Amino acid sequence: CASCHADGNGNIKRFDNWINLERPEMSLVLRAPLPQSFAARGGYGLALCRDRKMDQTFTRRGVLYGFGYEHAVRDLDKFPSQKWDDTWPTEGNPVTPLASTNAPLYQQMLKIIQDARVELLARPRIDMPHADLVGNGIVQGRARQILPQALPDPLPAVTATNGAFGFVRLDWEDSARMIGLIAEIHRGKKDKFKPDATTRIGRTEQSSFWDTNPPPGKVHYAIVFTSDPAETCGTLKSGAVFDYQHGDGEQRPTVVGMPPGERCPLVSFKPERAAPVHLTYEAPKQDRQTQTDILPQAAPRAGSVALAWAPVGVPGLTCYDVYAAQGKGKPARLNKEPLRVPAYMDATFHGMKETRYAVTAYGPTLAERKPPADKFWATAKADPVREEPVFKLAPDAPGLTLTDGAKFEDGTLVISGNGHAKLPPQKELAGSPFSFVLEVMFDEAGSMPVLLGFGRYKGDGWFFQRIGGGWRFHLADTDCDGGAMQVGQWTRLVGTFDGSTARLYQDGKKIAERAIPEMPAPHNAEWRIGQYVQLEPAYQVHGKIRLLEVYSRVLQQE
């Protein structure tokens, strides 16, 4: 594809237009290289590819995006217009490298798109199937209020109804007096029970909630409405607040990071909780079965075993458990929380020994969680761990390039101006545990500089930055924050990820630890040192890096 479609830098513009996640088989990336179909009932082949370079001056316009969401704040006349050809340009001879839908390359590409569809439906966008049922449901827009919302008086009534898959839906008043309130949903064993942390099954700022695992028979609920601007003003969820007293020299507020669990400093309001609203409801009977005839594929990796299996049931609602056993030992369930995607990485249990693996599926509601029969187990042994680093920063490091403003002085990378370093994706790190060792000194604090831009926020890969006076190790939609930064002082930082937990160390001391729900997806674009993957002044590093090593294994603290 790149031989015709890529620009001078090897980038393909708007590749997303080629992918159809609703119907993967209709993706243009699959249909354009197929011979044209003349079947009576139609077919997939379009034969649109030609043996010529693509016109790089034309590309489908997309969302305008800069350091903010520019499409949301620009007038309509600021959006560029474009003229489309009435017909597809026919210059050049048709190129059909995919002979048919049975071609191995076609099948490989189709599976990638199908897997992406399953992963997306496990965390659906608001307009996708079952978005209100999967996980914590729909995440609504923030009220962003600073003044507290008064508790409702009188309290709203709560109703319950049967929903899809045997779920129970709870509803209450949707009005102006309820905006900004948090509803805690509790489920107890008897009527008029006293709600506490052990009975809480969810929280929402919406006017409804789905109980996706109600016990059969009578179910007792209690809904507690809470007023707490520290959570609903919109700053706590982002992990950062704006310091309007200290700008960055351009009359813009400085972003100040907030450690996990700390309350928003914009308010000093003590949370208020209303009396519980109780409700008893007869839940419908459900077919709670566990599917045990799933045979996973177990692929050895360096220091780990990658498991994958064919998805079953309803994407996003069907959950999976992974079991492992060695010798005659009793099977152990590896995942702490139910998995919603058909993949798992064993980075610790195997202990470099031959291990058997099995998978069970259940849902949409929970069933008995137990390992399957012996015939549905796969066996694998992790490959030896690579001791040396996958990447080591040096002037002659393979694939490393410097932009203006970045240079090496006596083996130390010096970053100034808009400079940074780039390197190609490190394929050996994809889907495996990893560690990084970094020694850095900042010449100035900057706004929220990104030292290692190896992925995107709440997206693929991972990154490491300074934010709010400390450090952030972000991966798989999770922040591992801690420590403190001093300008003009050398600091040694180590980050590790063992497949389930991220840890961060500063000068030999552990400063943060967070559970990570899943393995980060590979980041297949350029990796950046001293800048984020999306170039912005706020992410620019000004300082020096004298050591950077990245390993495909977990380093121990000692």
pLDDT digits (tens, 9 = 90+) for 97-151: 999 999 999 999 999 999 889 988 988 888 888 888 887 677 666 666 667 788 9
φ and ψ at residue 450, rounded to 5 degrees: -100, 115
Q: How many CB atoms lie within 10 A of CB 534?
A: 14
Look-up of token digits 């011979």: 35
Please say whether the beta carbons of 57 and 89 come within 8 A.
Answer: no
Query: pLDDT tens across 268-311, in order?
Result: 667 899 999 999 999 887 766 788 889 999 999 888 899 999 99
The Cα 2–Cα 48 span in angstroms is: 15
Compute and round to an integer the Cα radius of gyration of the chain: 26
Confidence label for 394 from pLDDT (cuts 50, 70 and 90): very high
> Cα(108)–Cα(310) distance, rounded to whole angstroms?
14
- In percent, the amount of the chain with pLDDT more than 90 equals 51
- In the chain, the percentage of residues whose pLDDT exceeds 70 is 86
68 or 492, which is more confident:
492
Q: How far apart are CA 514 and CA 415, in angstroms?
A: 30
Question: How would residue 40 be classed by pLDDT, with cut points 50, 70 and 90?
Answer: low
The yes-or-no verdict on residue 240 having pLDDT over 60 is no
Q: Which pLDDT belongs to residue 102? A: 93
Query: b vs e for 215-246, b when ≥16 Cβ sit within 10 Å of the residue's Cβ?
Result: eeeebbbbbbbbbbbbbbbbbbeebbbeeeee
**Given this model, what pLDDT does residue 252 score?**
42
Task: Give the chain's mean pLDDT.
Answer: 85
Instruction: Label each residue of 328-349 as H, E or C.
Output: CCCCEECCCCCECCCEEEECCC
